[in-house]
Amino acid sequence: MSAVIEFQHVTKVYQRLFSEEKLAALSDVSFEMAPGQVCAFLGPNGAGKTTSISMLMGFFFPTSGQIRVFGRPPGDLASKQQIGFLPENFAFHKFLTAPKLLRFHLQLAGRNPNNAGSLIADLLNKVKLNGFEKLKIGKYSRGMVQRIGIAQALLCDPKLIVLDEPTSGLDPAGRREVLQLLTQLKAEGKTIFLSSHILPEVEQIADHVIIINRGRMVRSGSLRELLTSDGRVEILADRVPDDLRQSVLRDAVVEPGPNGVRVLVDPARKRQAVEALWAAGCDVIAMTPQRNTLEELFLKEVDAPGGAQ
């Protein structure tokens, strides 16, 4: 199946007019995103996330490299027909009401807004804005603006949904609702490209993670692989003899805990460690695979030498 989004050696360098000073916002970034995936695009502030999304949407042009969306160049009308986009800090025409804004966007999408009453009502209901149909968007709270932004992104039943910080400005309840909405969209088979700073939430829905830092892609892969790749196995025993610490468990982390001694070993050596503990007459109470959180992985990558400044 062909990729929905393809970045091939994409570089973006900003240069001011009449100035020699150059700033590389993105350097040689390559990745692909398969249909039906939820891809989390992560990075600290200034990492190049919004630049990448802007190039994906055809707002910026790469200095070198190639971007394809549904096999076409960014900005192509046929591919834009299939994309729902929520920009960071969604801006709006303040004098419009939510139904008028959605009708306007339907017209922009080339659809007839006259028979869209039920579609608009459903969408407003979905983002919990029903009851505010007569209120002008200029009077909305930040969270309500974000919700109407999400509604307009979902307006034409897009195959690809690009969301730049969708939960920004929302309270915890609002964030949970957006998360539920994204889970529902994922179940419907939509492809979602998502940039967010709220990593525990991203971790709940993402299949694939791309981490960029200072314009370079530092990590990419399936979420499960990334979170377990350098995870260890925790063995909880009642005691650990000293001779084992010097031999079989010499590469393991051994530390006393409230319920016994905690031994952290490499997954490849867990069997050997457990058998050695049994053979020494120790009681093995529990064995649990250790899994990183996305937040830990993210901080590890951006705090690595040469990471974020």
Partner 1 sequence: MRIRAIALNTFSGLLRNKIIILFCAGIVCILLLMLTPLLVIRNGRGAQNAEMMQMAVLPLIASMMQLVSGFGSLLAAWAAADVISSEMRSGTVLAVLARPVRRWEFLLGKFLGVQLMMLIFVVLMLGLNYLLAWIGGATIQTTPWVLIVYPLVRYMVYSALGILLVTMMHPILAFCIVLVVMIASSLVAPGNPQSFMPDWLRTGIFYVLPSSNLLSETRFLTITRATLRAAVWTDHVTALTYGLDYALVCFLLAAWIFHSRSLSRD
Closest to partner 1 by CB, 72 or 197: 72
Task: Kindly state whether residue 139 participates in binding partner 1, applying the rule CB under 8 A.
Answer: no
Q: State the minimum distance, in angstroms, from the CB of residue 90 to partner 1.
A: 7
Closest to partner 1 by CB, 78 or 279: 78
CB 200 within 8 A of CB 295: yes
Q: State the minimum distance, in angstroms, from the CB of residue 5 to partner 1.
A: 15
Of 81-89, 194-202, 257-265, 285-293, the segment contacting partner 1 by CB under 8 A is: 81-89
Q: State the minimum distance, in angstroms, from the CB of residue 33 to partner 1.
A: 18
Report the candidate in 268, 197, 203, 263 with the shortest Cα–Cα distance to residue 44.
197
Report the candidate in 69, 86, 85 with the shortest Cα–Cα distance to residue 31.
69
Across the beta sheet with 208-213, the strand order is: 83-86, 160-164, 191-195, 38-42, 208-213, 216-222
266 — phi, psi (to 5°)? -65, 140
Q: DSSP readout, 89-107?
A: T----TTSBHHHHHHHHHH
Closest to partner 1 by CB, 138 or 257: 138
Residues forming beta bridges with residue 82, ordered by sequence position? none
x-marked contacts with partner 1 along 93-132 as a string, rule CB under 8 A: x-xx-------xx-xxxx----------------------
Which residue of 89, 204, 259, 293 would you call a contact of partner 1, by CB under 8 A? 89
Two structure tokens written together for 226:
């990334």
Task: Kindly state whether residue 58 participates in binding partner 1, applying the rule CB under 8 A.
Answer: yes
Residues that bind partner 1 (CB under 8 A): 54, 57-61, 77-78, 80-81, 83, 85, 87, 89-93, 95-96, 104-105, 107-110, 149, 152
